[in-house]
Structure 1
Amino acid sequence: MAPPARARSSLRILIVEDHTLFAESLELALSMEGYDVRRMAVSEMRGSQAALVSAIVRLHPRIVLLDLDLGHFGDGVRIIAPLARAGIWVVVVTASPDESRWGQCLRYGARKVLSKTRPLNEIMATVRRLNQGLPVIDREERERLLTAWHRDREDQEELHLRLERLTGRERQVLGNLMEGNTVRDISRASVVSEATVRTQIKSILAKLEVSSQLAAVGLAHKVGWRPPTP
């Protein structure tokens, strides 16, 4: 049996959102339903993610409606776990359609992930259910999103392993390709023949298991790989 709902005026909700218009609309809708709702103007704040977490916790919210794009604070996924450990119910409201990222949010402690493309009523309904002590996500949806996250993590690990196969010289060449340099540019800068550079690129493609320079560059960007510092 679910615990009784608390009075809406005693349920403090904090909106942590970089998009001002969306945040204001959400604040207005929740206020009209009688909730104690505050909005944190992330774009006007400075400091680290740790400072952001501390600022949120000091406001003692019961629910945080969290965007994942926090401007200069970076990826909102990283602050879910410390907020959840502080006993805060985190509901992610995001424009990202990436279900593996949604699964990551759940893995780190979010109670629910909602798309900004969905009607505002869905966010309101989630808040109401949390206030009533009711579940806000079913087992099937949770397992599907967590599975998407696990598969993406395995794929990322596999791509990192491929990149680790590259020699030091091949990593430099891949870094040059990522900067938009041509075979001729790399040849001149390295004082080697174009044939040598093409051989190095052929080896890179084989080790990364891709068929083109564009695919190799895309793979490196996908995992956030950066070339070694000269």
Structure 2
Amino acid sequence: MSTVQRRVAILDDHELLAESLEIALSVHGYDVRRVPVPADGGAPRTLVDALVRLRPRVLLLDLDLGSFGDATVLVAPLRAAGVRVVVLTGETDRARWGRVLAEGAHTVLSKASALIEVISTVRRVDDGHAVLTPEERAELIAAWRERLAERGADEVRLARLSPREARVLGLLMEGMHVRDIAVDRVVSEATVRSQVHSILTKLDVSSQLAAVTLAHRSNWRPPVPA
């Protein structure tokens, strides 16, 4: 097998882990190329082009790349370019694992995995073997699709809020208490409590914390006051 065929790229903003992976994979005969994460974030297309120019067979990809942000956007274009993506992440959210698999990643490994497990996975992927069973892959992708369905339902609930209720929810998301909101809105605490009760009813949740969690989960933002 040629050097190019055995080339592995690493894109991870954790220097110690990236260096450990580079050393371990080099010992096992791989031509390893570490790719720096752009300090200023950068455009996904630019980073994809840089990775494709290296012509790696396998890419070890961290999902959270510091200033660049969520690396999920890289998976589909890299897969289309023929790069076999192995996601190595500290993320434990199975729905998020399912998302990158749906985008075309070969598999997902926890950063808690032993180095020998990572090396074994790279070898299997490089040799064209499946790492996940069809059942495991389908289960994780189903978790992502369920998350999407939940977000859709959340958006419907959030759309029920009146403009005033939406502004109150926005203030709750900022960590404000009912008394502070009453002062900010120049209304009585009783009025704010009534609005909070209406918010909980419309969102079908039982606490302010649950309402805030639902809003964050949907990446919802309150309307800008006119």
Q: Same fold per TM (> 0.5)?
A: yes
Quick check: 69-78 or 7-16, which moved more?
7-16
Pair 1:169 & 2:164 matched? yes
Alignment map for 1:96-107 (pairs within 5 Å): 96-107=91-102
What is the TM-score normalised by the length of structure 1? 0.92
Pair 1:213 & 2:221 matched? no
Deviation digits for residues 15-61 of structure 1 (CA, Å, limit 9, x no counterpart): 00011100000000111111111011216465222222222122222
Query: 1:175: how far off?
Result: 0.5
Deviation digits for residues 58-89 of structure 1 (CA, Å, limit 9, x no counterpart): 22222111000111111111110111111111
Query: 1:127: how far off?
Result: 1.6
Alpha-carbon spacing, 1:117–1:108, altered in 2? closer, same or farther (3 Å): same
Q: Distance in 1 between matches of 2:185 and 2:199?
A: 17
Q: Contact (CA 8 Å) 1:11, 1:131: kept in 2 or not? A: yes
Q: Distance in 1 between matches of 2:64 and 2:144?
A: 18
- Give the letter for the 1:65 counterpart: L
Pair 1:116 & 2:100 matched? no
Q: Contact (CA 8 Å) 2:41, 2:69: kept in 1 or not? A: no
Deviation digits for residues 105-142 of structure 1 (CA, Å, limit 9, x no counterpart): 11000011111111111211122112322222211211
Alignment-derived partner of residue 49 in structure 1: 44
Q: Contact (CA 8 Å) 2:9, 2:59: kept in 1 or not? A: yes
Helix, strand or coil for the counterpart of 2:85?
strand
Q: Contact (CA 8 Å) 2:4, 2:56: kept in 1 or not? A: no
Q: Contact (CA 8 Å) 1:9, 1:34: kept in 2 or not? A: no
Alignment-derived partner of residue 197 in structure 1: 192
Alignment map for 1:28-47 (pairs within 5 Å): 28-42=23-37, 44=39, 46-47=41-42
- Percent identity of paired positions between Structure 1 and Structure 2: 53
- Give the letter for the 2:152 counterpart: E
Alignment map for 1:1-230 (pairs within 5 Å): 6-7=1-2, 10-42=5-37, 44=39, 46-230=41-225
Alpha-carbon spacing, 1:133–1:189, altered in 2? closer, same or farther (3 Å): closer
Q: Distance in 2 between matches of 1:198 and 1:45?
A: 44
Q: CA RMSD in A?
A: 1.6
- Give the letter for the 1:30 counterpart: L
Q: Contact (CA 8 Å) 1:9, 1:35: kept in 2 or not? A: no
Quick check: 151-160 or 165-174, which moved more?
151-160
Q: Distance in 2 between matches of 1:145 and 1:8?
A: 34
Q: Distance in 1 between matches of 2:84 and 2:168?
A: 47
What is the TM-score normalised by the length of structure 2? 0.93
Alpha-carbon spacing, 1:70–1:84, altered in 2? closer, same or farther (3 Å): same
Alpha-carbon spacing, 1:22–1:45, altered in 2? closer, same or farther (3 Å): farther
- Give the letter for the 1:187 counterpart: A
Query: 1:159: how far off?
Result: 1.4
Helix, strand or coil for the counterpart of 1:224?
coil
Q: Distance in 2 between matches of 1:32 and 1:83?
A: 26
Matched residue pairs, number? 225
Q: Distance in 1 between matches of 2:125 and 2:101?
A: 16
Q: Distance in 2 between matches of 1:212 and 1:38?
A: 49
